[in-house]
Each structure stands twice: as structure tokens, then as C-alpha cells.
Amino acid sequence: MSELNPIPLILTGIGSICATVAALGYYGYLHFAQPEDALLLSDYTMLKTVPGEDYKVSLKPASQVAQCVDGVLVLFDLEQKGLSGVLVDQRKRAVRCVAEEAPVAQ
């Protein structure tokens, strides 16, 4: 009984993996994060609203949109496909949200 030569099997496996990675990269399913892709919390500021006091904001909207996902505020970038992040405070605690209307003072 002859033994199988494992070298063709190993080369086929390596070739399959390389072809899969190349196909995923070609169709845009692979993304290697770069430092410039990161959104820093320091880039955002909370404007506290005080009744009777005016505040100014730009008419041009930001390139991110926030959405409440499972009770956590998630930011999605509209310019860079697939870039998203969870909004956290200084202690890395996730900012919670509710999918309902804003609370009304009574």
C-alpha cells in the first residue's frame, strides 16, 4: 500500500487560503484599521441645553450618525464604510440610550 504525499495537500490548503483572502479583499470585505480611521472621544463635545439660553451649531451635519443599539449609543461613520464605534466616557463605560422620546420635565 502506497502512502499519500502530504505536500500537495498542504500546498492546496495554503493556496485556498490565499485565494479566499484575495477574493475577500477584492470585494471589500477585508479592512485593515489605520490610526486615522479612529474616532476619538475628544473630537466630540456635549452642549448642555439650558432653558431660555441659546446655543449655536453648524448647519452642516457631521459625517457620523448615532443609533441606539441594544441600549448603547453606537456611532456609524458615513464616509468610511464599516467604521463604527461605541460612545464611552472617560472610564470606558458605554453611554446608554433609550429608543423612546426624550424625557419631558414636569
In whole angstroms, give the CA distance from residue 68 to residue 100. Answer: 10
In whole angstroms, give the CA distance from residue 74 to residue 78. Answer: 13
Residue 17 has pLDDT above 90, yes or no: yes
Read off the pLDDT of residues 19-74 as tens digits, 9 standing for 90 and up.
999 999 999 888 776 666 565 555 667 777 788 888 788 888 888 888 888 888 88
In whole angstroms, give the CA distance from residue 99 to residue 101. Answer: 7
Residue 10 has pLDDT above 90, yes or no: yes
Please tell me the predicted confidence (pLDDT) of residue 101.
54
Please tell me the predicted confidence (pLDDT) of residue 13.
96
